[in-house]
Structure 1
Amino acid sequence: MDQSLPRTGIYTPLQILVFSDDIGIRRQIELALGRSPDAHLGPLNFRAVATQPAVLQEVSNGNVDLLILDAEAAPLGGMGVAKQLKDELLQCLPIVLVISRTADRWLASWSQADAVVMSPIDPAALKDAVLPLLRRNLRH
């Protein structure tokens, strides 16, 4: 199952799905990236969800270019969601995992996340994680 729709041009916004049960974290991620963090990629459009079923629904709709998952979300955190998606999808979208403890990096590796950033969100670190994944995904 192909999980992405073809972009029709640079002005077609990339779709970023942000998963956290904390509205503050979701907003922090959106503000850190901004609507146009890279002129070569074009604009970003954010959709925010608070539950694992909502993530699965959005991904199955096929209009997501990248996922940013909060590892601390409850009752099911972003690591579990990342692992599920990586194990179940033939072509999984790039996933950025937000963790709160350095010791959780090994779990992030287990979840097969493509990149990991620490909370609280550092805008430069988030852009450094997200932008290369979006660029790589657009080349395919």
Structure 2
Amino acid sequence: MSSPSASPAVAATVLVYSSRPEVRELVRTVVGRRPAADVGPITWIECATGEDVIDTVDAGGIDLCVLDGEAQPTGGLALARQITVELADRPALCVLIARQPDRWLAHWSQADATLPMPLDPLTAPRVVADVLRSRVGVPAVRR
């Protein structure tokens, strides 16, 4: 029997953006389909261009965008800033950063979280799960 405070895991749609297919695949592989037991399954949507990201986010239904800060020609940090400025009801935003000094750019972009590259297989799923919990209202598991 489940406790009254237990909530069913809510499915999420996560957009991953990079101009490099190997980065998109790495994010999907490291985070997986279910980054935590209390987070529902993820449906992944891949975008290879900044225009695709904007069109997909504008269409709605995206819970989280994972954006590559090193993507070319449009970087994920600039896209995060554009989405934040242009959309009142935006999805959560997480940016991939190659250098820790780039955290200030992530702050400028108003991203909700950062993931340093190379991706850590323990940290990345936890960060994505934390952001999804705050976005879709799944409570954190108390231990």
Whether TM exceeds 0.5 here: the answer is yes
TM-score normalised over the length of structure 2: 0.86
Shift of 1:21: 0.4
Change (3 A) 1:48 1:19: same
Structure 2 segments unaligned to the other structure (5+ residues): 1-6, 139-143
Shift of 1:116: 0.7
The percentage of aligned residue pairs carrying the same residue is 36
1:101 aligns with 2:99: yes
Question: Aligned equivalents of 1:36 and 1:125: distance in 2?
Answer: 14
Shifted more, 36-45 versus 55-64: the winner is: 36-45
Q: 1:74 aligns with which of 72, 75, 78?
A: 72
Question: Aligned equivalents of 1:85 and 1:92: distance in 2?
Answer: 7
What SS class does the counterpart of residue 48 from structure 1 fall into?
strand
Q: 1:129 aligns with which of 127, 130, 138?
A: 127
Equivalent in the alignment of 1:32: 30
C-alpha offsets along residues 80-125 of structure 1, whole Å, 9 cap, x if unaligned?
A: 0000001111122110100101111111110111001111111222
TM-score normalised over the length of structure 1: 0.88
Structure 1 segments unaligned to the other structure (5+ residues): 1-8
Amino acid of the structure 1 residue aligned with 2:130: P
Count of residues in Structure 1 that have an aligned counterpart in Structure 2: 132
Question: Aligned equivalents of 1:88 and 1:95: distance in 2?
Answer: 14
Q: 1:60 aligns with which of 45, 58, 61?
A: 58
Equivalent in the alignment of 1:139: 137
User: Which structure has the greater CA radius of gyration?
Assistant: 2
Question: Aligned equivalents of 2:120 and 2:19: distance in 1?
Answer: 20
Equivalent in the alignment of 1:111: 109
State the superposition RMSD in angstroms: 1.7
